Amino acid sequence: MTIEEVKIVIGSNFGDEGKGLMTDHFVLDAHERGLNPLVVRHNGGAQAGHTVELEDGSRFVFGHLGSGTFRGVPTFLSRFFISNPLLFIDELESYTSQNPNKPAPVVFVDPQGLVTTPFDMLLNQIVEEERGASRHGSCGRGFNETIRRSEDYNGKFKITVEDLSDTYALILKLQNIQNEYVPMRIKTLGIRGDDPIKYSVLTQGSIPSRFAMDVVKFLSEVEIASLPSLAGYTSLIFEGAQGLLLDKDNTKYFPHLTNSNTGVKNAMTLISELGVEPVRVEAVYTTRWYMTRHGAGQFDQENFSFKDSYSAIEDRTNEPNEYQGTLRYGYLDIETWVNEVNSDFAHAHYGVRKSIAVTCLNQALKVEGAQSAFEDQIKNWDSYVIYTTDPQAIYAADFSVCPASSFPDILAAAFVDPTVAPIDRVAVDTVYRSYTPYGGEVEIALPDWRKADNN
């Protein structure tokens, strides 16, 4: 098997950078060039929420299913991805009911991947609620709890995908988790039991057998396989989750991190196990032109008046919720961004190229009077970018690709600092820019954040 190309889509901030949008773009591009793509999830789990919108108005937020699903592209859940059978079933049923005329999702799962149980989810939610103002910003999906259960006590309570096929043995292990592990974990976490309803659910004797039935449904919808065994795919698109600033080794933001490697490390490991070296490998570091963070934790760039400055900013995916609160906004710190990208890229090999994807540029515009609103700033700029759109092709996400030599101009427009020339420090090969066209020709320009109030 010859793998013509590999794209590794990486979020370069706190997540929500547009990884699903970029994955969908690369899938479509691969199809148009006659390649046979496969989307590989190389970290995270059900807490991911990757939004894809198509030109026909279809929209879905993907968790387990890869962001190439709309295009009929299969998904491979690697051993670095944690499967949650309960949420997988919900996601699959939601997708198929909303998209009855689209191809049924095809999902392969690595047998060594960890599995989340209802106990992990409940423990996660209970302890996060009891933390109050000291919450870690968890999604409440049991991701970290799954890892803790799998690694503690010499792996006695670990469950992997390959363990799911023996229903009787699975029920016995779930009963051991409920009767032995859960009480020990409650003591370790210092859970007080403030929520008597959720606390009592942990002890319900029917959970093991009911979850085992959900697992049967899960197994009927996936195929267990290893990545090297999946022959015939000529394009691999690694779809990352979360972002570099949430990487488990990024101690600056501890404890508000995700317990996984969010950059190129896992992808490099999986590529090394293929038994064949891809022709081209590209790491695509994705960022909005601004920053967001959903959940608690340090956010040095946070600007509380940011969203009010741009009426076009809309985020339908990251709705306020009980565990993460409201999405937070701020400006993009170029110095931090460059350093994080370079630090992660140091782990790349196989002659990997480095590229940048800049998303959500349409939100820089105020829909009414956009050009006049920025006229004073534009005339003082050394450079800015002109985006020409085709009003006959109203896309949810339209793309153009420009050579790296144009990167300083894009930075001037997208990141609001014409004095910085990161091209010399990032050394990117390609810049992908994405935007939602309003039709016609518009000028993108942003105010100087150094003059903004940062409350």
Q: How far apart are the C-alpha atoms of 314 and 294, rounded to whole Å?
A: 14
438 three-class SS = coil
Provide, rounded to the nearest whole percent, the portion of the chain with pLDDT above 90: 43
Which H/E stretch holds residue 442? strand 440-444
| Average pLDDT over all residues of the chain | 77
**Res 326: pLDDT:** 75
Query: Would the pLDDT of 152 be above 80?
Result: yes
Q: How far apart are the C-alpha atoms of 186 and 182, rounded to whole Å?
A: 6
Question: Per-domain residue ranges for the chain?
Answer: 1-110+225-455, 118-221
**Res 438: pLDDT:** 30
CATH number assigned to the domain covering 1-110+225-455: 3.40.440.10
Provide, rounded to the nearest whole percent, the portion of the chain with pLDDT above 70: 71
Phi, psi of 116 (to 5 degrees): -85, 140
Q: What is the arithmetic mean of pLDDT over 313-339? A: 69
Asked which of 212-216, 270-274, 315-319 is least confident by mean pLDDT, the reply is: 315-319
Q: What stretches of 152-223 show up as alpha helix (H) in DSSP?
A: 167-176, 182-189, 196-201, 207-221
Segment 249-304, tens digit of pLDDT: 988 887 777 889 999 999 999 999 998 889 899 998 888 877 888 777 888 878 77
Q: Nearest CA to 417 among 382, 372, 441, 367? A: 382
